[in-house]
Amino acid sequence: MLRVIAVLFVFLGGFAVMVLEIIGARFLARDFGGSFYVWISQIGVILVALALGYVAGGALADRFQRAAFLALPLLLAGVFTFFIPRFTPPLVNAIVLRHPLDQGIPPLWQKLDPALGSTLVFFLPCFVLALLPPYMIRLASRQLEHVGTISGLIYGASTAGSIAGVFISGYVLIDYMDVPDIFRATGVLTLLLAGVSLLMDGWFRRK
């Protein structure tokens, strides 16, 4: 039962990451254009956030070994994501408008500005969501001989969630919801994961 809960937990985390990545590129395109550099920046920043999140998640899991530890970072990430439509447009505008209008944007900054915008808006929530897989592996692997099985299951579930996030974002969400509402819904999902982490703490301790 605990393995099922852990699998669903990381599945939804992976789903949320890909929603932020795919819809985030659409969000950034409003200010930076739909150029190749926007997609490169978004993919690159999310991968950096995931890599650092995996490393941090493993280290934190070894130290704290409680699912409830995830509640606070998930709460912060959920609130941040929910309010992306409200507070991030001025940040992105500041990046764009810092270049003199009469001189245009230098070629180097045409490449780097989207990466800067992506970092400011999407790095934090994706970093937090990347904590989940290594953390769940640590909590669900109570016996050393099962670590390989558990780790494969957890990362497989996280990747499956990411795949679902890609197709549902591109084929469903973008057709029936506007971008601000998608961010708000993803923020609510992240907040729900924060609540589940508190419940999981009691379940794992009883086991």
The pLDDT, as a whole number, for residue 145 is 54
Angle 42-45-51 from CA coordinates, rounded to 5°: 135
Q: Phi first, then psi: give them for residue 183, nearest 5 degrees.
A: -65, -40
Tally of domains within the chain? 1
Look at residue 59 and tell me whether its pLDDT is greater than 50.
yes
Contacts of 93 (CB under 8 A, 6+ apart): 31
Judge contact between 26 and 173, C-beta under 8 A: no
Per the structure, the complete domain to which residue 22 belongs is given by 2-206
- Average pLDDT value for residue range 33-60: 93
**Average pLDDT value over all residues in the chain:** 90
The pLDDT, as a whole number, for residue 15 is 98
- Average pLDDT value for residue range 71-90: 95
- Average pLDDT value for residue range 167-196: 96
Look at residue 129 and tell me whether its pLDDT is greater than 50.
yes
* CATH number of the domain encompassing residue 36: 1.20.1250.20
* Alpha-carbon radius of gyration of the chain: 18
Count CB-CB contacts under 10 A for residue 77: 26
pLDDT band for position 28 (cuts 50, 70, 90):
very high
CA distance 77 to 180: 16
